[in-house]
Amino acid sequence: APVLFGFPSTDDLSTALASFVLAAQDDALVTKKQSTFKIAISGGSLPKVLGKDLIGRQDVPWDKWEIFFADERVVPLDHEDSNFRLNDENLFSHVPIPRQNIHVIDTSKLDDPEHVADDYEKQLVASFVGSSSIAFPRFDLILLGIGPDGHTCSLFPGHPLLNEQDGWVAWLDDSPKPPPVRITLTYPVLNHAHRVAFVSTGEGKQEVMEKVLDHPEEGLPSSRVKVISPGRVFFFSDDAALTRVKYE
Ligand code: 6PG
């Protein structure tokens, strides 16, 4: 079952999240002896909460971090809606992650989201596929947000992409949350990760957290993430978001 961590404030959450991310990093680099720690990050309110404590941590081998985007809005990278820009401002620009280790979704072909998605999928294939072929990549950690409607990544309630079984990366041009054109990882990729952690804070998330945690049978997109064992799903929330939740 998913593990829920609740915190009195977002500052406390940021501190615990930083430790959690570094434990995932150690599992990848020290225990599994991988050459890189492979992490995918979303946009929304997550980058700020993530960066707050992490950027001050000492002794982080940033040169071994390999960053991917869980989803991206198809806008120029310097646009205020860009998830790259949001993560750059809150994390990348503060720490020495080599630029070639940041797998930017090249959104320069704004009118061709299929090309953008294909190009990004090639970056994933190049990074994850060694000598043997694999069905899906296995991220060490995927960090996601939860929208008030229950969406995660750019997987929205009732959208046909919820049924995607094969692709690693998908695109859509009808996102109900603007901007409409987006690139997203698919469910099979989320479900093959070693860890998926949802971060959601604030009273605006009370109703959705109740549905996601106490009524998963409603099938909101965030509830549909079912990571294959021994992988696990974690929720990091503040008390403000959890007032209606009974789940323990
Ligand atoms: C995006 C995000 C999206 C986000 C949720 C939650 O690009 O829109 O990646 O999936 O994580 O919408 O957003 P908030 O944390 O801002 O509520």
Q: What is the pLDDT of residues 95-121, one digit of tens each?
A: 999 999 999 999 999 999 999 999 999
Answer whether 145 contacts ligand 1 (Cβ < 6 A): yes
How far away, in angstroms, is 35 Cα from ligand 1 center? 30
According to the model, what pLDDT value does residue 40 have? Answer: 98
Domains of the chain: 3-220 (3.40.50.1360)
Do residues 196 and 233 touch, judged by C-beta distance below 8 A?
yes
Query: If you average pLDDT over every residue of the chain, what do you get?
Result: 97
According to the model, what pLDDT value does residue 67 have? Answer: 98
The number of the ligand 1 atom at minimal distance from the alpha carbon of 152 is 10
What percent of the chain stands above pLDDT 70?
Answer: 99
Count other C-beta atoms under 10 Å from residue 212's C-beta.
27
* pLDDT (average), residues 234-248: 97
According to the model, what pLDDT value does residue 130 have? Answer: 74
For residue 39, give the nearest of 30, 50, 49, 31 by alpha carbon: 50
Answer whether 220 contacts ligand 1 (Cβ < 6 A): no
According to the model, what pLDDT value does residue 205 have? Answer: 98
According to the model, what pLDDT value does residue 31 have? Answer: 98
Answer whether 43 contacts ligand 1 (Cβ < 6 A): yes
Of the residues 13, 42, 181, which should be mutated to test ligand 1's pocket, given the most ligand atoms within 8 Å of the CB? 42
Residue nearest to atom 17 of ligand 1 (CA): 147
According to the model, what pLDDT value does residue 248 have? Answer: 83
Contacts by 82-87, CB closer than 8 A, 24 or more apart: 82/107, 83/41, 83/42, 83/43, 83/47, 86/43, 86/47, 86/48, 87/41, 87/43, 87/47, 87/51
At 211, the amino acid letter reads K
pTM of the predicted structure, to 2 decimals: 0.98
Do residues 228 and 191 touch, judged by C-beta distance below 8 A?
yes
Count other C-beta atoms under 10 Å from residue 132's C-beta.
5
CA 140 to chain centre: 11
Answer whether 71 contacts ligand 1 (Cβ < 6 A): yes
User: pLDDT at residue 132 above 90?
Assistant: no
Angle between helical axes of 10-26 and 46-54 (0-180°, round to 10): 70
Q: For residues 214 and 147, what is the distance between their CA atoms, to the nearest angstrom? A: 16
Answer whether 42 contacts ligand 1 (Cβ < 6 A): yes
Count other C-beta atoms under 10 Å from residue 231's C-beta.
17
CA 216 to chain centre: 20
* pLDDT (average), residues 48-74: 97
Q: For residues 209 and 213, what is the distance between their CA atoms, to the nearest angstrom? A: 6
